[in-house]
């Protein structure tokens, strides 16, 4: 998948706001793939464009499609709960987006073509927000950025250098955590909490 190169120039909050609002207009008009004709709302982003952390999920589900806001359904509520349990404020500390901006019917995994159609929008979001850390939430986000065949369970929790300056870490998707309730040491929920703490420690020092 093609991603635009990371640019180094500093953007003020005002410039970011204007650029994101222009980009959102383009996304709302986009008809590059068939998902545009089946979705209700384009789901552009949520959170703080000046946050140090950008979280990238997979694609909107039914609740996100209805509201136009990412991660507000069951999985999103669990994500928000995990973020707050480790001391993050979702609205302040994160800018949250998805790999694709339209809901795939029946919540299927987006196709390579659908991801490609959205990849310039995602790149532009990264270039405008200029996060210090990218959290790749789940396998779809991870695969979109990596040419290697990583398994999320092998790579989660490790820092990966994606764009030189930006650190990235993959974490389990909250939908997976909804199916795995254990809080035991080494369980997916336990590991996710530890990954989020590692991210928090990093941004507090950088
Ligand atoms: N799952 C995602 O990956 N993104 C959302 O916005 C909701 C559920």
Q: What is the pLDDT along the chain (206 residues), one digit of tens a residue?
A: 445 555 567 899 999 999 999 999 999 999 999 999 999 999 999 999 999 999 999 999 999 999 999 999 999 999 999 999 999 999 999 999 999 999 999 999 999 999 999 999 999 999 999 999 999 999 999 999 877 788 999 999 999 987 777 899 999 999 999 999 999 999 999 999 999 999 999 999 98
Q: Is residue 127 part of a domain?
A: yes
- Tell how far the Cα of 138 is from the centroid of ligand 1, in angstroms: 10
Task: Identify the CATH number of the domain in which residue 104 sits.
Answer: 3.40.470.10
What SS3 state is found at 95? strand
Domain that holds residue 179: 13-205
**Protein residue closest via CA to atom 7 of ligand 1:** 71
- Tell how far the Cα of 27 is from the centroid of ligand 1, in angstroms: 17
What SS3 state is found at 185? coil
Q: Is residue 1 part of a domain?
A: no
Query: Could you tell which of 41, 73, 108, 136 is best to mutate to test the pocket of ligand 1, judged by most ligand atoms within 8 Å of the CB?
Result: 73
DSSP characters over 111-152: PHHHHHHHHHHHHHHHHHH--SEEEEESHHHHHHH-SS---H
Q: Is residue 5 part of a domain?
A: no
Q: Is residue 154 part of a domain?
A: yes
Q: Is residue 20 part of a domain?
A: yes
**Could you give the CA distance from residue 89 to residue 102 in angstroms, rounded to a whole number?**
26
pLDDT of residue 147: 74
Q: Is residue 152 part of a domain?
A: yes
Strand partners, 95: 47, 54
Q: Is residue 8 part of a domain?
A: no
pLDDT of residue 2: 46
- Tell how far the Cα of 8 is from the centroid of ligand 1, in angstroms: 29
Number of domains in the chain: 1
β strands within the chain, DSSP E: 46-47, 53-57, 94-98, 133-137, 159-161, 167-171
Q: Is residue 6 part of a domain?
A: no
- Tell how far the Cα of 171 is from the centroid of ligand 1, in angstroms: 13
Structure tokens that stand for 126 in this block: 């990264």
pLDDT of residue 4: 53
**Could you give the CA distance from residue 189 to residue 183 in angstroms, rounded to a whole number?**
6
């Amino acid at each position: 998948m093609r991603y635009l190169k990371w640019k180094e120039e500093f953007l003020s909050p005002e410039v970011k706001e204007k650029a994101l609002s222009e980009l959102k207009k383009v996304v709302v008009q986009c008809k590059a793939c068939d998902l545009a004709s089946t979705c209700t709302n384009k789901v552009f982003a949520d959170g703080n464009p000046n946050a140090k952390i950008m979280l990238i999920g997979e694609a909107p589900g039914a609740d996100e499609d209805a509201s136009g806001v990412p991660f507000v359904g069951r999985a999103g509520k669990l994500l928000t709960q995990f973020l707050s349990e480790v001391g993050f404020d979702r609205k302040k500390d994160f800018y949250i987006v998805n790999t694709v901006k339209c809901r795939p019917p029946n919540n299927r995994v987006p196709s390579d073509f659908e991801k490609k159609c959205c990849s310039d929008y995602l790149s532009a979001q990264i270039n405008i927000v200029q996060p210090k850390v990218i959290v790749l939430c789940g396998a779809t986000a991870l695969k979109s950025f990596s040419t290697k065949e990583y398994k999320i369970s092998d790579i989660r929790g490790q820092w990966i250098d994606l764009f030189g300056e930006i650190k990235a870490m993959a974490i389990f998707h909250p939908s997976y955590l909804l199916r795995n309730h254990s809080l035991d040491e080494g369980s997916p929920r336990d590991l996710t909490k530890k990954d989020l703490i590692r991210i928090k420690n990093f941004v507090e020092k950088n």
